[in-house]
Structure 1
């Protein structure tokens, strides 16, 4: 009854169905891997919020290079950890990071080097401010940078990838991405790897700054894709089986065949 499945046509259908199902299963497995990655990041964010901040040197050691260089990037497993550091802001070399969105508004994040006692610095993202009137790229009025010693509690971030040259603008530096190596090249001292996203500051930060939110990653979206791709794989195999059964039964019934099925078989007299 199913010997037709051994014909070249149906063997081709089978190979195509299996190949499609395998690809869909692999895509589901990849999405499952992404789900676990994002869930791990979210767990780190939550755990860091419940623990006391560690000294900066424990997570971001002092750079071994000379002026204009950045230290090693923090390990991925330490991103979002909370650390504390004390130093003095270098107000003359603050960096404006453009095209940053907070609460659906485009503005700037202000990154300022915090000079440490060992002569190095760590980049601190102090928060978000809106642009000046005239458009999203209009240079904002930056709040006064605190003088004297400052103690920060902040979260460790890795340098951002992607294009983003650091250029001088109106006596400041401006960029699109926060990259420790690129910014360090414009500074007269070595810089720790990565940067810090400010949580708290002593003395308190200027209220003109809006805190840059610590956003959890959407791991459930990846979980939905896992179910979607695996369901598609099952549907492909089911579709092949349904088509084979339909073929074995002779294709779709005609109206005459359905009527014939309803007529009782004749009996002998």
Structure 2
């Protein structure tokens, strides 16, 4: 029996379990709609992956191998750089459970988010709002895959990017949201120089365009999955959207981690 602690995360009733026998035999799959999960397995040692089974735009790859199983999002461009945003994906990995004949095994595990949410806010000055035609934002320098057993984004040769959801309020506040597997860099690698940035593109009614970028690598890295805090809220409060700059300057933005 496996009992899951969801913490502050929303519970999913449709879960997929994959048991990997220690003897190398074919993995055993279960799909269960319940809060307490019971299984009838042959005796032996197993590794386990489990995650919600209600995703729509996530592709699971190498799922027959515990150490290499990944969740990925499909590209939306021929070059394969621009990808969709992943669904919310929750789950965990168990490195070892032992099933003994005639004994009931109980395992209590904590559920973690495989995805990270980022919310960025910026205000459009009132005098500038009538000149704006469209505003789009992209999150660049991200990974399109996550390694399920290690709960970390996969280091990729070509970093991905995705179009953020943007919404402009009547008071001029622009909110940009995005779900991602995380940054494309690897904190354990001293050679990795990939940065994750939000790129905001503004098109005016006179057909001119301006672009600003904000480095959010540290913000993404500091989202603390172990505490179920999988969302970062960033206030770009002092960076004028109508000033073309190449990145954040000291003191021009504030970042905070929220549930």
Q: Which has the higher helix share?
A: 1
Higher RCO, 1 or 2 (CA under 8 Å, sep at least 6)?
A: 1
TM-score, normalised relative to structure 1: 0.21
Query: Greater CA radius of gyration, 1 or 2?
Result: 1
Q: TM-score, normalised by structure 2?
A: 0.22
